[in-house]
Chain A
Amino acid sequence: MMDLKTLRQLIKLMKDNDLSELDLRDKEEQVSLKRGSSGVVHQIAPQAMPAPAAAPAQQAAPAAEAPKADADDGLAKINSPMVGTFYAAPSPDAEAFVKVGTRVDADTVVCIVEAMKVFNEIKAETTGTIEKVLVSTGQAVEYGQALFLVKPD
């Protein structure tokens, strides 16, 4: 799984060795990094091969695009049961209900969706580990929209 930390290490490796291009592949994913005068450009593309229970390609940085179909592979979704506004934490100053890596069970409150001035605490309704948070606080969400990806036990 490619995370931000690994990516940073790779970029450092490129800088240290003054490499302008780097192409890395393994079973599940491929990373291409290019370094120019304007900064670092990187690209992540999953390999075209089905891996049912494999870890997904992680979104590495805002600029990176990871195809959806693979990101969802083998993961459960927590969907919004209603139209409303998403809140990751009970208040702006408070900590988020869950983060990537948080273990959840059916009754764990993962977020709040506000509709018509009423806060609706959304429960995970599944057991596993939060793999990805798909929306951010203040964002409008639709009925059935996926909010989190959960890696089942």
Chain B
Amino acid sequence: MIDPVVLNRLLTADGPVPTHALGITRDDLAALEAAGCRLDDHPQHGLRLLSAGLGCWVDYIEQRHADRLGRRMLVFRETTSTQDVARQAQVADGAVITTDHQTGGRGRLGRRWVAPPGAALLMTAVVRHTESTPVDRLMLAAACAVAEAVESLCEQQVQIRWPNDVLLNGRKLAGILVETANNLAMIGIGLNVSAHPADLNATSLGAESIHVDRLHLLDVLLDRLDFDVRHATDAQLLRCWRARSCLTGQRVTVSVDSRQLTGRVIDLDPAHGLLMQIEQGPITTLPAATTSLIV
């Protein structure tokens, strides 16, 4: 088992900790590594905790979120995607699946989501899916939760690019994917924490000098997500979105069901999608599930 004294000492240390001073045994090291901790064990300087493993505080998170989202945590070292696990494991409302590494991460409309191992917060939150929580509303709630969680950790304002991107300084920080099966919705969130794909217009918290432990971020995010999904009113979500939407007022071209439409983004209907004033046409509602932005 993980020795909480050892873990706490490593977490609070400014630099490497001499292993003999801590009395760290081989078993302690094995336990930390099994929990997903990344350690730098230097023969002269000692032991340094590069990042805490997701397994370290699962009990704590489950306990803290006992009556809400996160009451059941499943941590995977590596898996194809947390969305797949949620589907396969038939987990119940309130479960959260997270992993260090996804080998088949995906985004909306079959796009791929790539992140180096341990560098991103990759999670799927499973919630009951009813008529009062359409997919568009869940995407909105998730985007707002990510934005608010990140903002609570730094001074900067985060932007939301409908339907599923969260941006920091104009670059993609997080992506959201909502899928449904039976009476459950699986809210997938990928958030770049310490690294991000180099070839895309992407960023990470680390790249913006925001250093945060993934478990802390997860804890904060679960609180926001639970509130925004289960308790927030449409008006509250809309206020959050309007203050952060980078598309409102913009002229955009979208593809809907293999048709291309160009127009100006007016607002959002929380339950049904983006409202767009089509050029020489009517105001149209674009559902998130089938719409992709072209420009």
A residues sitting closer than 8 Å to B (CB atoms) are 82, 84, 90-91, 93-94, 115-121
Contact = CB atoms under 8 A, between A and B. Distances in A.
B77 A119 contact: yes
A116 B55 contact: yes
Nearest to B79: A121
Contact of A119 (B56, B59, B75): B75
B76 A118 contact: yes
Nearest to B72: A91
B88 A118 contact: no
Q: Please provide the 8 A-B residue pairs with the shortest distance between their CB atoms, ordered closest to farther.
A: A90-B89, A116-B34, A116-B35, A118-B55, A117-B55, A91-B89, A115-B34, A117-B58
Contact of B2 (A82, A91, A116): A116
B140 interface: no
25 contacts: A90-B88, A90-B90, A91-B91, A94-B89, A94-B90, A115-B34, A116-B34, A116-B36, A116-B55, A117-B35, A117-B56, A117-B59, A117-B73, A118-B34, A118-B54, A118-B75, A118-B76, A119-B74, A119-B76, A119-B77, A120-B76, A120-B77, A121-B76, A121-B78, A121-B79
B289 interface: no
Contact of A93 (B54, B73, B90): B90
Interface residues of B, number: 24
A116 B32 CA distance: 8
Nearest to A121: B79
Interface in B34-86: 34-36, 53-56, 58-59, 73-79, 85
B85 A82 contact: no
Contacts of A91: 89-91
Contacts of B218: none
Nearest to B57: A117
Contacts of A93: 90
Contacts of A120: 76-78
Nearest to B36: A118
Contacts, number: 49
A119 to B, nearest CB: 5
B88 A121 contact: no
Contacts of B88: 90, 94
A117 B62 CA distance: 12
A93 B91 CA distance: 9
B118 to A, nearest CB: 12
Contacts of A84: 34
Given A118-B54, A121-B76, A121-B77, A90 B34 contact: no
A90 B31 contact: no
Contacts of B59: 117
Given A82-B34, A121-B77, A121-B78, A116 B53 contact: yes
Nearest to B54: A118
A148 to B, nearest CB: 19
A117 B290 CA distance: 38
A91 B88 CA distance: 8
Contacts of A115: 34
A117 B58 CA distance: 7
Nearest to B30: A83
Contacts of A119: 74-77
Given A118-B34, A119-B75, 13 more contacts: A90-B85, A90-B89, A90-B90, A91-B90, A94-B89, A94-B90, A116-B35, A117-B35, A118-B36, A119-B74, A119-B77, A120-B76, A120-B77
A60 to B, nearest CB: 32
Contacts of B36: 116, 118
A115 B73 CA distance: 14
A53 to B, nearest CB: 34
A94 B77 CA distance: 20
Contacts of B54: 118
A118 B35 contact: yes
Contacts of B89: 90-91, 94
B124 to A, nearest CB: 13
A74 B206 CA distance: 52
Contacts of A116: 1-2, 31, 34-36, 53, 55
